[in-house]
Chains A and B, each alone.
Chain A
């Protein structure tokens, strides 16, 4: 089913429509309200719709980065850029949901126990992933892996994945946090993984996942240029050479700065989810920029070493406890002129806050969305994404490009995610999240 005029017209009728109509003419309005869905305005051309989804991305970025109350709700009496934890930073992180032995996570409002190596180092958020795999995210280093991203100081960047409460509730209420729970869920012939859709009609926010990339800030970095937090940088140890390099466990409190942010929101207009990707403006030069114009300074590119080969992962073994050669990264696919223009508008509205240091790379959305939020499209599961490819230089560093299935496309890769119950298409499909693969076994006999 293609985007129909009728379906899009529905999208237009929402409380955010005023914002949408306004944005064409005047500066963006900064709001803590997370949009329920895209606001699409005719004519429904590819470029216009892309613009509308890009606006959705910025609106969501602002709302999620709003300073939060202790309970995680947006602090409406503060402005974005005020100090404090952001809304999304109060959400549950993946290590809190998929626990050893498939234990049930603690309730949404409660803090989960820290990894043992981190205890006693402060009540801080934990960052643990560092290696982004070709499509599969995991704490251990995998073959045909894409590799860690190394900053100019030789330190690895770190990632974290958060989910919002609707998504957390779906996981917990359906027992999906353990392998046995997933099996029990799938044993009913009508069950399938289908997270909640955001809906204008129902005025509800859908499932949202956030993936953040951070770099360790040191003396040469100006914390004022980043959204900076104190965090526990955690490396789970590995003693099994079958799973990757043998490396020690470690945990230390460090000041880290945000360099990349994926926001993924499932909505009625986009049951294949809306994939928004942001980066720090100083991350990397674009490949299309002539070498002598790459002035920087960049976070992941050394303008003085322009003869180094680009976009090559470090030589294995990868051990985050050892200083590594800084990565030399360029952006393969440049931002479009339209996105650049939109970024200027929003950065202007955010001027004076750290958030003006961030830019939208693009938004991937299905041009031929599935009929509903439950069942994948039988003939076009991806829904013909626009743009065809999308990569964040900090999170899909080493598979940027335009080759189908090999180069980064959010939907294409995430469509391959499965549950731990791979028996049939119904039981295997994980609704575009790799998180369900992390569910451990309780060890109980079937």
Chain B
């Protein structure tokens, strides 16, 4: 191995670290706006087809989320790998008595609980293995402190994200029927329709729906005043998914491969490579693969460059620095703080962007309570069919109980006991060997021949599982117990410190588990009439683990694959890392995106919210570099702004001040013009107020009202031109010649 010490400087308008969901949206939006973007991606390139990944998946014994992707999950050699990441294989090792477990696991897990979620470091990122669930957060998720006196408030509201959620749903192509999605305060624009119709419910969903939908669940909890909380009506509800139910976007329609996680063989499931391909098609985006960002350099004014190490498969490495006018770090919730904390310098004594001390703090997952059951004989529900999950029970994602304990959503699994006991493998071996590892063979039958086929068929077709995604809230959000820090002991193959994880679930979250267990048993045994096979007494071993004790019971938890919260947004720079625009408080040319910015986790799978937030951040970055402020004169006709509208970016024109008039006799007005005077034929825009600010795209564009602010019309391309609403040709009198004043107008990226 050799390191070539030639310093390699790469420049672009914007440097983006990470080619995952957020990095791809950022690159696409900025490339579309005409900015030159350089993406640094730590892992290998997006391949021309998915055969390598799929081959690895088909031949993997442990078909965990990481199974298809490099580095090979069985290697477990992070000390020599160049872009290692967390894996379930590591998690299993970390919970075992393997004497080498600390060195084998990429994450240095300090405990007391094991952080159980994983991510990928490849072109396209973790989106390769996401499930596809595209849920929005609830309005109350944004104001936990105000409403429930727990957690922290977001500096933005659900309504602030509405337009961005719609953009995210369109970019991904989300399949859902909107009528089923308005609950617990979730709203949509009037007449809104998702990109594609919903995915049909599986037979598992249908059976659960028959027994659950419409029933009233009275949990045994008591509020602080001793009274029970109101009963909740339960519904089995379609889950919105980034998954093709129609063939309109050129990718294939879902064929129910039941392997969404870890990989969709036919790309019916959306992944970030779709958006990154569009980014590359703008001609403005370049990606450096196998380029690991190692340090962020800052001075008193902001970031001056991002150092990276680019490695070849033969071990050769080359150092480089990426420099731009703006920097966006989109490396997900563990690699981003790792990078920032590794960047200690005179202007970043605690790491870059970390004057608050909050970088790496409040690492959160949705720890999952898994419950599973077996229907009685003769009542199969045919799992292992369809996408991994098509419906959920969402009705308890919010409620007054949230001042006392964590909420959860219930994900209905279509894959039988695959997650919970590794079926069909466990049950097949059980009925051949006469064992009962899976729980479906209490009689220890050892079968063969037709009897084996019949018994396996009976058991496999009656399995179902529920996953409760529990929100994670720190008892003291400003002094988090769950953290990412730099390991002082362990490094990766590039010599970079590995992430050290401390992880401890709060009582708030554990009480959520307790209630989840009660609700699960209620659904499985009382509503479904099934036998519950959930391990209700998992074995707590010594050392860091995924089992905890609470209120006299033991609970096992799993990772949902969601990593959040480690560089949260806020309105107070002493208690947050970025502001509501996801701009670093400390370094104004630095943006941090991804779900590390989430101040609370809510109970929705984070991907859709990551995408929505990134659209907003991209608008801010593009505006930083491309916005223009100009003076529009009252006494001139159409004036060019120099702002090229591409028809695809979301752009705004906003009047920021000034006064003018189309007729001095009627007085000075602002951009809305004079409401008492309606423009006549021959005016810039008849029917609107005289003196209003009017725009058009290109010389032949249809004039439109700008007024105080307007979303520029999409679908038209050309230069934005502005003009006062007046008698342009002097048909009725003096025309423009007697006009006075001017307005200042800012044209930037964003949504109204």
Contacts and interface: CB of A to CB of B under 8 A. Distances in A.
Interface of A: 133-136, 138, 140-147, 239-246, 311-313, 315-318, 398-399, 401, 403-407, 416, 418, 420, 422-424, 428, 437
A428 B277 CA distance: 28
A446 to B, nearest CB: 13
B50 A406 contact: yes
Nearest to B257: A405
A143 B274 contact: yes
Nearest to A238: B281
Contacts of A317: 280-283
B49 A146 contact: yes
B228 interface: no
B277 A143 contact: yes
Contacts of B32: 241
Contacts, number: 114
A357 to B, nearest CB: 29
A129 B266 CA distance: 21
A302 B484 CA distance: 52
Contacts of A144: 49-50, 251, 267, 273-274, 277
Interface centre among A241, A242, A407 (most CB of B within 10 A): A241
Interface centre among B48, B245, B247, B253 (most CB of A within 10 A): B247
Interface in B265-283: 265-267, 273-278, 280-283
Given A143-B277, A144-B50, A144-B274, A416 B246 contact: no
B48 A401 contact: no
A105 B50 CA distance: 38
B255 interface: yes
Contacts of A403: 51-52, 54-55, 58
A242 B278 CA distance: 7
B479 interface: no
B200 to A, nearest CB: 7
Contacts of A398: 48-49
B267 A422 contact: no
B253 A418 contact: yes
24 contacts: A133-B250, A134-B267, A135-B266, A136-B247, A142-B250, A142-B277, A143-B250, A143-B275, A143-B277, A144-B267, A144-B274, A241-B281, A241-B646, A243-B250, A246-B281, A317-B282, A399-B48, A405-B265, A406-B54, A416-B252, A418-B252, A420-B247, A422-B246, A422-B253
Interface centre among B273, B275, B277, B647 (most CB of A within 10 A): B277
A411 to B, nearest CB: 13
Contacts of B54: 403-406
B330 to A, nearest CB: 19
A173 to B, nearest CB: 23
A82 B70 CA distance: 55
Given A144-B273, A316-B277, A405-B266, A399 B283 contact: no
Contacts of B647: 239
Contacts of A312: 48
Contacts of A416: 252-253, 255, 266
B246 A420 contact: yes
Chain B binding surface, main DSSP class:
loop
B729 interface: no
B390 to A, nearest CB: 14
Given A242-B278, A420-B246, A136 B252 contact: yes
B402 to A, nearest CB: 38
Given A144-B273, A317-B282, A399 B51 contact: yes
Interface centre among B52, B54, B197 (most CB of A within 10 A): B54
Contacts of A242: 278, 648
Interface in B632-652: 646-648
Contact of B49 (A134, A138, A316): A134
Nearest to B249: A142
B48 to A, nearest CB: 5
A422 B280 contact: no
B266 to A, nearest CB: 6
A298 B555 CA distance: 65
Contacts of A246: 281
A422 B247 CA distance: 8
B717 interface: yes
Nearest to B264: A405
A47 to B, nearest CB: 27
Interface string B237-268: 00000000111111111010100000001110
Contacts of B49: 134, 144, 146, 398-399, 401, 406-407
A398 B253 CA distance: 21
B51 A406 contact: yes
Interface string B15-32: 000000000000000001
A244 B28 CA distance: 12
Contacts of B283: 245, 317
A428 B253 contact: yes
A428 B245 CA distance: 10
Contacts of A404: 54, 58, 265
Contact of B717 (A133, A143, A239, A423): A239
A96 to B, nearest CB: 21
Interface string B42-76: 00000011111111001000000000000000000
Contacts of A313: 48
Interface string B145-160: 0000000000000000
Nearest to A428: B253
Given A317-B282, A401-B51, A405-B54, A145 B648 contact: no
Contacts of B245: 422
A402 to B, nearest CB: 8
A207 B50 CA distance: 32
A387 B717 CA distance: 50
A97 to B, nearest CB: 17
Contact of B247 (A147, A240, A244, A418): A418
Contacts of B277: 142-145, 316
A239 B646 CA distance: 10
B281 A136 contact: no
B717 A316 contact: no
Contacts of A143: 250-251, 267, 273-278
Given A143-B251, A241-B282, A405-B257, 10 more contacts: A134-B49, A142-B250, A143-B277, A143-B278, A144-B50, A144-B273, A239-B647, A244-B278, A403-B55, A416-B255
